[in-house]
């Protein structure tokens, strides 16, 4: 079965669910409306499975099961060799994501740190928000050690004095400081970035720092709690969650604020299995150790 498909935007081919004999090659060429081949289009071979028999007067339902996906060649070609017997549909999409990705530019300053956007100035609205640092951690954007250090240092020394006390990212600031090798700043930012959010007498974590008496009290603010807890579990221990075994997630060096010796968590559930976390100051990496003695299924 050889097809020539003219594609503008997104298109589904084969709405009649044609029957394909066993061993048939399904191949073709994708072209745009001017006849030029489209490379890097996404083509998925979908098997059509019938749903339960309908009630009288009802319509037969179908389920599409994706069997294989490939991208078209520079000539716009695709091929699924020796398809087994059955009914199939081709789902074809002109995937623009790769073009967008190639055109994206991560803006850096002359000093080497990531800045929030083109034309960035610290004195503009929300310029103090540490967006570049947050892209690296916790979002996981991978950069060179030099760029990471420069970005965390900029967040600590330039953005944090203006930002600390604002909800959402203030709880990350102490981690950025210690990861940038600025322990004295980390000590101060543990206070201004989190401790100053705690309201007496019930120790609730507020939305804004208590030093801003002009702002309303709104607690508990779980985004601020979550930011601080994330530094304890993922930040200081250097955990980067990935597709591998949980023991492989300990990718980054362990860093600690002054006076901290270790972080130990007795039980962490990862993929339905219990683990224990041990992160000690100065270690090249933390340890995630299977916790065979833990009971219960735990969440995944």
Q: Which domains does the chain have, with CATH numbers?
A: 2-100 (2.60.40), 112-290 (no CATH)
* Whole-number pLDDT of residue 212: 83
DSSP category for residue 236: T
Walk along the chain (300 residues) and give the pLDDT tens digit of each residue.
555 555 444 344 444 556 777 788 888 888 877 788 888 888 888 887 776 666 666 565 667 777 888 888 999 899 988 888 887 878 777 666 556 656 778 889 999 999 988 888 888 888 899 999 999 999 988 899 999 999 999 999 999 999 999 999 999 999 999 999 999 999 999 999 999 999 888 888 988 888 888 888 888 889 999 999 999 999 999 999 887 889 889 999 999 999 999 999 999 998 888 999 999 999 999 999 998 766 555 544
The alpha carbon of 71 is separated from its chain's Cα centroid by a whole number of angstroms, namely 24
Q: Where are the alpha helices (DSSP H) in the chain?
A: 97-103, 131-136, 145-154, 160-163, 173-179, 183-193, 222-230
* Whole-number pLDDT of residue 87: 79
Q: What is the pTM of this model?
A: 0.67
Q: Do residues 194 and 228 touch, judged by C-beta distance below 8 A? A: yes
Strand pairing category for 262-270 and 273-280: antiparallel
Distances (CA, A) of 18 to 26, 135, 192: 12, 46, 65
DSSP for 173-189, please give it: HHHHHHHTT-HHHHHHH
DSSP for 19-38, please give it: EE-TTEEEEEEEE-TTS-B-
* Whole-number pLDDT of residue 3: 55
């Amino acid at each position: 079965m050889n097809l020539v498909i003219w594609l503008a935007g997104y298109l589904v081919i084969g709405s009649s669910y044609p029957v394909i004999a066993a061993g048939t090659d399904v191949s073709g060429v994708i072209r745009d409306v001017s006849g030029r081949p489209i490379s890097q289009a996404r083509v998925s071979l979908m098997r059509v499975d019938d749903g339960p028999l309908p009630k009288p007067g009802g319509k037969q339902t179908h389920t599409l099961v994706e069997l294989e996906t490939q991208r078209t060649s520079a000539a716009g070609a695709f091929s699924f060799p020796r398809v087994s017997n059955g009914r199939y549909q081709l789902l074809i999409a002109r995937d623009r994501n790769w073009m967008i990705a190639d055109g994206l530019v991560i803006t850096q300053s002359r000093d080497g740190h990531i800045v929030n956007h083109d034309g960035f100035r610290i004195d503009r609205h929300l310029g103090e928000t540490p967006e570049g640092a947050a892209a690296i951690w916790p979002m996981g954007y991978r950069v060179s050690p030099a760029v990471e250090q420069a970005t965390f240092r900029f967040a600590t020394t330039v953005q944090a004095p203006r930002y600390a006390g604002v909800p959402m990212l203030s709880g990350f600031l102490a981690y950025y400081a210690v990861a940038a090798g600025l322990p004295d700043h980390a000590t101060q930012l543990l206070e201004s970035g989190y401790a100053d959010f705690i309201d007496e007498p019930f120790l609730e974590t507020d939305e804004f720092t208590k030093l801003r008496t002009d702002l309303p009290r709104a607690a508990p603010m779980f985004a601020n709690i979550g930011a601080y807890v994330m530094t304890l579990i993922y930040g200081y221990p250097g955990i980067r969650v990935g597709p591998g075994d949980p023991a492989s997630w300990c990718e980054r060096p362990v860093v600690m604020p002054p006076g901290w010796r270790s972080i130990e968590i007795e039980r962490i559930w990862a993929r339905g299995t219990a683990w224990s976390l041990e992160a000690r100051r100065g270690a090249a990496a933390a340890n995630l150790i299977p916790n065979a003695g833990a009971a219960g299924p735990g969440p995944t």
